[in-house]
Amino acid sequence: MTDSPDYTPPPVWTWNKPSGGAFASINRPIAGPTHEKELPVGRHPLQLYSLATPNGQKVTILLEELLALGHAGAEYDAWPIRIGDGEQFGSGFVAINPNSKIPALLDRSGPAPVRVFESGSILLYLAEKFGAFLPQDHAGHTETLNWLFWQMGSAPYLGGGFGHFYAYAPAKFEYAIDRFAMETKRQLDVLDRRLAETAYLAGPDYTIADMAVFPWYGGLVLGWLYGAATFLSVQDYKNVRRWAEALQARPAVRRGRMVNRLTGDPAEQLHERHDAADFETRTADKLSRT
């Protein structure tokens, strides 16, 4: 190991300097809003406030899959939250998600608005609301939740652990990168072994578990995350790759990844979502080129 042990933690930690790294400007040890800002509201019952990060893509993929099945009630307005600018700390957003993380959903279809925050909670809420992508039999339902919550517990090691220290930290620390690379590869092996047994994570059917895992681990093996595909030898996880390619081929998945994307090729960005007919017209040409 090449890291030198040159830091001794103080008896009591205090916030007295920027944390460093790519997100130093928005990192802070306290919750609550930093400024007053109301959120926009569109004309559909479902209002989504998010960004096309892996966590944000989970929800837009599900919404697009629901619309592809013909669930008109899943029409939604998508509003980008620019997390690099601290928009998640606006008063309106914090009122929906006190944790100041995207995605956040406001369901205005009932007599009183219902707020839903945390991506796993939103996926489960929408799957139950529309009766789709969540098996009704006890065994299938439970297996879906097994893998849904596996993703909730595992992805922080990939994103906040490996991704942060490999791609975003102000300096490279061998210990941290080794530790989280090891865990990320172990998780990929968990998925690869499971997907050697079955087409999708919960069994023969495509579920919200796949939608939760795909943007993180599918994105990793497809080379979308952290520029780390070679470093992690992702080609070794052939079953994960097969599964990821199958999901990426689904039109609703491709649309869901485009919503609220603010970087990259403009042909792969969609900054508004109103109704299915209008959306299909505006995205048909883009999808033909992606």
Chain centroid to CA 223: 16
Best CA proximity match to 213, nearest among 175, 235, 243: 243
pLDDT one digit per residue (tens) for the chain, 290 residues: 445 567 899 999 998 877 777 777 788 899 999 999 999 999 999 999 999 999 999 999 999 999 999 999 999 999 999 999 999 999 999 999 999 999 999 999 999 999 999 999 999 999 999 999 999 999 999 999 999 999 999 999 999 999 999 999 999 999 999 999 999 999 999 999 999 999 999 999 999 999 999 999 999 999 999 999 999 999 999 999 999 999 999 999 999 999 998 888 877 778 765 554 455 544 544 443 33
**What's the confidence (pLDDT) of residue 282?**
46
**What's the confidence (pLDDT) of residue 278?**
52
Q: What does DSSP say about strands 46-50 and 76-80: parallel, antiparallel, or unpaired?
A: parallel
Give CA–CA dist 93/36, Å, rounded. 10
Give CA–CA dist 255/62, Å, rounded. 10
Q: What does DSSP say about strands 46-50 and 104-107: parallel, antiparallel, or unpaired?
A: antiparallel
Give CA–CA dist 16/275, Å, rounded. 48
